[in-house]
């Protein structure tokens, strides 16, 4: 009888391990996808070498940190500033969406560390920069939080919603950086 119990216990353990592994693969593949952070354009929100978990099932809103892929295959992590149908501009370091001032509280840490007296975000008018009056139906304007060193919509234009892979939700490595985004 003891041999039978051991065999039953062994197969029960194998089933649990298989179930747990399958569940982990489903969660990793479809719900929480690990993504490495490369570059400094999102510093101090995300740092070079951080690993984030990205989810791809919720809708994109202003100031979400997203992961997207450009048509050339390069993957970027940036912050959504402008949504479809909007205009985005900067005047004297102030963000304007559809000509209304908008606060960027997430930049406070970067601005506090900024010892230079140069503009943190160079001024631009949307139509001059983008060549259109407003963002298209499925277009988003993205910027890095480290504005002086970021390659973003100011250089490569708006991104299509089809190119958005998901939203950054959580930094899980290194352990000293663990936090929600």
Among the listed residues 15, 22, 41, 44, the single catalytic one is 41
Among the listed residues 15, 78, 89, 103, the single catalytic one is 78
- Both tokens of 168, joined, read 């950054």
What's the CA dihedral at 145, 147, 151, 155 to 10 degrees? 130
78 is catalytic: yes
- 21's enclosing H/E stretch is helix 2-26
- Both tokens of 80, joined, read 């959504």
63 CB burial (10 A radius; 0-12, 13-18, 19+): exposed
58 is catalytic: no
Could you give the residue numbers annotated as active site? Answer: 41, 78
């Amino acid at each position: 009888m003891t041999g039978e119990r051991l065999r039953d216990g062994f197969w029960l353990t194998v089933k649990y391990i298989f179930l747990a592994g399958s569940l982990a693969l489903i969660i990793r593949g479809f719900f929480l996808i690990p993504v490495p952070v490369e570059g400094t354009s999102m510093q101090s929100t995300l740092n070079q070498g951080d690993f984030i978990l990205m989810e791809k099932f919720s809708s994109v809103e202003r100031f979400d940190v997203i992961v997207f892929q450009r048509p050339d295959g390069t993957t970027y992590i940036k912050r959504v500033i402008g949504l479809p149908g909007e205009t985005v501009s900067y005047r004297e370091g102030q963000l304007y969406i559809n000509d209304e001032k908008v606060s960027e509280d997430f930049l406070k840490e970067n601005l506090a560390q900024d010892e230079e007296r140069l503009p943190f975000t160079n001024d631009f008018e949307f139509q001059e920069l983008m060549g259109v009056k407003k963002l298209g139906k499925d277009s988003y304007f993205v910027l890095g939080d480290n504005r002086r060193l970021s390659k973003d919509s100011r250089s490569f234009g708006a991104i299509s919603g089809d190119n958005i892979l998901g939203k950054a939700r959580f930094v899980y490595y290194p352990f000293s950086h663990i936090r929600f985004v």
